[in-house]
Structure 1
Amino acid sequence: MTVAPEQRPAPVTGIARAQVPALIVGIIGVAVAGFGFVTNAPEFYRAWLPAYLFWFLIAAGSIAVMCLQYITGGEWGVLIRRPLGAASRTIPLFILFAIPLVLGLEHIYVWADKAVVAHDVLLQKKQLYLNATGWIIRGLVFFALWTLWVWRIRVLSLDFAKTRSPFTDLSRRRWSASGLLMIVLTLSLASVDWVMSLEPKWYSTMFGISFTVESGLSAFAFVTLFLVLLSSTPAMRDILKPSHFRDLGNLMLAFTMLWAYTNFSQFLLIWYGNIKEETPYYLKRMHGVWGWMATALILFHFFLPFFLLLMRPIKDHPKTIGVVTVIILFMRFVDVYWLVGPAHYATIPPTFWITIFAFLGIGGLWLAAFIWQLKGQTIIPIHETWVEEAIREGALTRNA
């Protein structure tokens, strides 16, 4: 038994109008950031990294959350499955966005600067792993694995939409289960290459899992904000319920707590150990502008979202939870810059404007690709059996 045509949700078409403005913002942002390359190439390369990481974490986190949703099922993910899939399929785009990082490797990572390595015995001993060729090869392997899993899950989903075969659904769940393990492992390794190796004499066994948690939080905040923006459209007005936002709010609360737990545990272990190779990492981030940013992260990345997301009325209403997602996403950028910036600067540099325009450039192009992947589709995957039953019963077509 299938859903009657009059019961089926209409495709969300309004988002297509945002594609061209996003593309224009992206082109302008990249062009203005490119002016920074002309005037000061080393600063351009360093400024590109935090902007790249912010948007990458949303796309990579979407793969992880999508896999989690296919494994667990449930109404909490019914309205974010399509946006998660669209965001996941943009992951190959970040190979192109990484070109400036490859070109400026020796300006971003001290281990890639041969002049510095020649006078540092410790860096010489780490060259077996920390070298340009290995960095590039590992990155390509990561992207190949992410793209493979996203493609395979997409193929199985399209096949299931046609056949409704339980064997196809089982295969999709198995790929999702292995994909979740794969994304956790590869993101942990990527965090070492792309972020932790900025300060190659420092290391933390907690950093990889913290990076993975950050990707999940970024993805949840983004797709929740996306639903908030759609909540007033004709296609979604009678579908979105307070319980949908409440579930997503609870998940953002959980990931906010995980973010605080992993970061505090890392800080506590380093503070207690008091090892000279580890403590400089936090010492430089506890003074000056970086210290103020650390305080802001404690207050506005953890405490404020934590207390707001404890309140059911805030989670139930699109506008209020939308404000929370904006706070989280803004603080995610602050967090990324706080992780990357002190590796190169004692304070925020005058060339910070390059990072802002790189953020707008990458973000605009990425959002245009995201909308292209999503436009013309219904947000609800109506081919799923349990979704069809929910639609017939009215569970997904009334506000309750």
Structure 2
Amino acid sequence: MIKAAKIGFVMLFTVLIATGCWNLEEPDQCAFVMGTGMDLNKDGKYMLSTLIAIPAGIGVEEGNTTQKSFRVLTSTGKNNTDAAQKLQAQLSRSLFIGHREIVLIGEKMAEHGIADLVDEFFRNPQSEARSKIFVVKGTQAKDVFEINSMFDPYITSTLYDEQATLGLRNFYFAAFMYDALGQGTQPLLPALTMNRRKHYVYSGFAILDKDNDLKLAAYLNPEESFYTNWMKRRVNNYFMTSSVSGFEGTFSVKLRALNRRIQTSVQGNRVKVDILLSGAGVLVENNTNLDPSTESHLLLIQKSMNESSQKTIEQLVDKAQKQIKLDFFGFGEIVHHQHPAQWKSLRTNWNVIFPQIEVSVRVNLKCKDLGETNATIYR
């Protein structure tokens, strides 16, 4: 009898959670928030925007027009909760953020700092920690939500898949907070911008300063972002186009199996970082006179990739130390793990120590697959 009662309770609980929202409201009582945007308006007030799904509008035509599958609503407030309550006043259904896919931060909001706004994202039990987060460069977050997606009912679904399309590993809101609350690194966020056709374009990564209210510190272009994420083990593949000195034309390689090894040494306040980046790739285009099936030519191609990569990384490290002056590579985090005792004395002054550390870089890239042909077809 007791066993039967337990089974009955489990079945009842399963039915309850399967037939309604997680807050036990029916789906037709919920306004499903697919994206949240954080902006500062012209008056400098906090503005919350939401992309709300309209499932009934998917594929439905009214006359000669197609009913939109979403609505974008905005409101101002003192914080997220205050603004959300003002949004709620515009709706007959309860806002539900348990399915939220995307969080966007407008540039003005990022420059102001978001430290006072992230608490709700983790404190609220409805909040989805697997939401993906972007900084919107040069415009407001709400402008991105207004974009009509080419393939999906909502632009949020498109953005959710964008990181994988770019070869990046999934970067969730939870990972951002791990960096923001961790030791020896500064948080990075992918960045978007709007082109003249009012469509989004991936523009690299944004660096936020966790020691200054999570304010926007600088942007990295897509190439700089690739090398940074390679060093942080957050990239799966990348298309590299380069040339060989003394030969006309260019070649392109799809890099895969990207790895990194970083070793650190500490003597007092003197820190040394040795970086080895390695990977293999497929030659997908060759417009040079080189024949990669010839060993000497293949070695020239690989040497060109390694030298150009090493030069770019060295310039990036120099930029980080002399201009940005923030450790967004996470070298401090590695020192923390490899030298926990010494890190205790380095931690509080890491922002001062970082610009002085010695960094050496080696790159070992190889073409493991030469494609379906050898020399270029028309040369």
TM over 0.5: no
Larger Rg: 2
Using CA pairs under 8 Å that are at least 6 residues apart, name the structure with larger relative contact order, 1 or 2. Answer: 1
Q: Which has the higher helix share?
A: 1
TM-score normalised by the shorter chain: which range applies?
A: under 0.3
> Which of the pair is proportionally richer in strand?
2
